[in-house]
Chain A
Amino acid sequence: MIGFDLVDGRIALAADAPDADALVGLTAQFAQLLAERDDESGLSEAAERDPALARLFPDPVPDDPAESAEVRGLTLASLVEHKRANAELVAASLASPGVLDERGELAWLQWLTDIRIVLASRLGILLDGDEGAAETDAEQAMQWTYHALGALQSDLIEVLDERADAAGPS
């Protein structure tokens, strides 16, 4: 069981060992996936081979390939590093659950999205309402994880919004 609570205005992570281990495994696989794009072929070829990478790193200016290449050249390394750091911070917090700092909150919020994007891509969830192809046991486990992580992210957003609402109307 993994969950988030609001404690004195801060977000506290609770995690039991089996679920924490499973999620740490996913953070490692995610980091591995990011490392793949660092091979010599670069992102565009890696993204052609892997739609999950294409979705994690969208073409920023699709109407203007030259501008897009320039923007990508300036920002891609920091974007990859940001996503890698998110996964690392999530893994670190699972190793010693408790109160998260602000960067840790952001890491959880964003990484849960990124890992769900990868799972959705593997399951073939392409349009609203798609459930994905889950025929084998492994695919069914992946589909379960996809939904469980969605529910976990929803819990996190609820406590974050609860805190924001308590701080004042917006």
Chain B
Amino acid sequence: MAFSAPDLDEDLLVGARSSLDRPWRTIVWNDPVNLMQYVTHVFRTYFGYPREEAERLMLLVHNEGRAVVATGPREEVERHTEAMHEYGLWATADKGEA
């Protein structure tokens, strides 16, 4: 019987790759200082979110304590996190949940 390479390998590779490619996330955390109006303004102007989406994210931060405001490759997410620090928002970067 001839040996043939199992197709399984491809699936394993795909699985491994998607784990490596799991996007990073910029998370903004609630704080008692920043005005809700300011947080919405920053999400709208910096990320270019429409007003409704900016308000939805702001309310997530306010009510749930945090919101994911951007996802993507590590360098991009770290750049967004840095920009949020320029705006005085409490932001962190992490590798998203699997």
Contacts of B91 in A (CB 8 A): 58, 60
> Do A117 and B35 have beta carbons less than 8 Å apart?
no
B92 within 8 A of A: yes
What 1/0 flags go to A98-127 for Cβ under 8 Å of B? 000000000001100110110010000111
From B34, B51, B82, B95, give the contact of A60 (CB < 8 A): B82
Closest chain B residue to A79, Cβ basis? B85
Known: A58-B91, A60-B81, A109-B87. 13 other contacts (CB 8 A): A57-B85, A58-B85, A63-B95, A71-B82, A75-B78, A79-B86, A83-B86, A110-B86, A110-B88, A116-B33, A130-B32, A164-B44, A170-B44
Q: Report the minimum CB–CB distance from B5 to chain A (whole Å).
A: 37
**A113-B92 contact, Cβ under 8 Å, with A60-B82, A75-B82, A160-B41:** no
> Do A153 and B33 have beta carbons less than 8 Å apart?
no
**A150-B35 contact, Cβ under 8 Å, with A79-B85, A82-B86, A161-B41:** yes
Contacts of B38 in A (CB 8 A): 109, 113, 153-154, 157
Closest chain A residue to B37, Cβ basis? A157
**A128-B92 contact, Cβ under 8 Å, with A110-B87, A113-B38, A157-B37:** no
A: which residues have CB within 8 A of B? 55-64, 71, 75, 79, 82-83, 109-110, 113-114, 116-117, 120, 125-130, 150, 153-154, 157, 160-161, 164, 170
Contacts of A64 in B (CB 8 A): 94
Dominant SS among interface residues on chain A: helix
Mind listing 18 A-B residue pairs with CB under 8 Å? A55-B90, A60-B93, A61-B93, A62-B94, A75-B78, A75-B82, A79-B85, A110-B87, A110-B88, A113-B38, A125-B33, A128-B32, A128-B62, A130-B32, A150-B35, A154-B37, A157-B37, A160-B41
Contacts of B81 in A (CB 8 A): 60
Closest chain A residue to B94, Cβ basis? A63
Contacts of A110 in B (CB 8 A): 86-88
